[in-house]
């Protein structure tokens, strides 16, 4: 059983690999991939995630929702005028 089959069985999701178009040279924007890369860039802006400072992997995992919540609140504050 491969990873896509396991993900479908456990979560009911369809996992697809995004491939580069055939015959295209140079930089190509790949659909959906930029969303994941952007999210990782946002998370890494927080000092605790810029390097692996945590001794326990669960601590680092717990900090991801905190970092994303702070990011969303900052976005709402600047874009919508809330707070």
Position 13 in a domain: no
Structure tokens at 67: 């970092």
Name 48's Cβ contacts closer than 8 Å, sequence gap at least 6: 54, 60, 63, 67
Position 19 in a domain: no
What is the H or E stretch that residue 5 is in?
A: helix 3-11
Number of domains, the chain = 1
Integer CA distances (angstroms), 5 to 12, 13, 62, 65, in order: 9, 9, 27, 27
For the ranges 4-8, 32-36, 48-52, 53-57, which has the lowest average pLDDT?
48-52
Position 15 in a domain: no
Instruction: Decide: pTM greater than 0.75.
Output: no
Is 90 exceeded by the pLDDT of residue 60?
A: no
SS3 call for 17: coil
Mean pLDDT score across all residues of the chain = 81
Question: Which residues constitute the domain of residue 68?
Answer: 28-83
Position 11 in a domain: no
Position 8 in a domain: no
Is 60 exceeded by the pLDDT of residue 83?
A: no
Position 77 in a domain: yes
Position 54 in a domain: yes
Position 69 in a domain: yes
């Amino acid at each position: 059983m491969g990873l896509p089959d396991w993900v479908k069985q456990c979560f009911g999701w369809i996992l697809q690999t995004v491939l580069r178009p055939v015959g295209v040279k140079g930089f190509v924007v790949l659909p959906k991939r930029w969303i994941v890369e952007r999210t990782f860039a946002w998370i890494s802006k927080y000092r605790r995630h810029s390097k692996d400072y945590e001794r326990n992997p669960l601590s680092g995992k717990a900090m991801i929702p905190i970092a994303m919540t702070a990011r969303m609140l900052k976005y709402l504050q600047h874009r919508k005028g809330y707070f």
